[in-house]
Amino acid sequence: MSIRKFPTGATRDTDENKIDPEGFYSPLVVKCFSEYMMKHQKQSDGELRPSDNWQKGISKEVYMKSAWRHFLDLWLEHRGYNSRDGLTDALCGLLFNIQGYLYEHLKEQNYGKN
């Protein structure tokens, strides 16, 4: 592996073959999604759920049914019709469900524990 040398004299390995979350994500999307999640943090009983509550486990079946509802909203908006809460919420809701489904799948695969 080659070494990067900076004008200051500091050195580091190159970032070759390293994941690049800063490049793979958009701060606008992360901010918007976080705002969506905050908006939906309040439960029907008025209590606020912790931001990581979903990581305790939700079945993939629940994620799938919810993803379809949000996908339908996205599709309606795409075709020029009104959805339940608009395009941004449809996209964020779909993103939440896809992320949750992937999270459950990764847990089943013991991802990161190998």
Q: Identify whether 56 is part of a domain.
A: yes
Distance of alpha carbon 104 from alpha carbon 97, whole angstroms: 11
| Paired residues of 3 in beta bridges | 13
Q: Identify whether 14 is part of a domain.
A: no
> 47 lies in which domain range?
27-108
3-state SS class at 69: helix
Q: Identify whether 62 is part of a domain.
A: yes
Q: Please state the domain count of the chain.
A: 1
Which tokens is 81 given?
């019709």
How much is the pLDDT for 2?
86
Averaged pLDDT, 29-43: 97
Find the radius of gyration of the CA atoms of the chain.
Answer: 19
Quick one: CA dihedral 49, 55, 59, 62, positive or negative? positive
Is residue 1 over pLDDT 80? no
pLDDT in tens, 47-86: 999 999 999 999 999 999 999 999 999 999 999 999 999 9
How much is the pLDDT for 114?
72
Local confidence band at 97 (pLDDT 50, 70, 90 cut-offs) = very high
Strands 11-13 and 3-5: antiparallel
Q: Identify whether 114 is part of a domain.
A: no
Q: Identify whether 69 is part of a domain.
A: yes
Q: Identify whether 65 is part of a domain.
A: yes
Instruction: Write phi, then psi, for 11 (nearest 5 degrees).
Output: -130, 150
Predicted TM-score (pTM) of the model is 0.89
How much is the pLDDT for 76?
98
How much is the pLDDT for 99?
98
| Mean pLDDT, all residues of the chain | 96
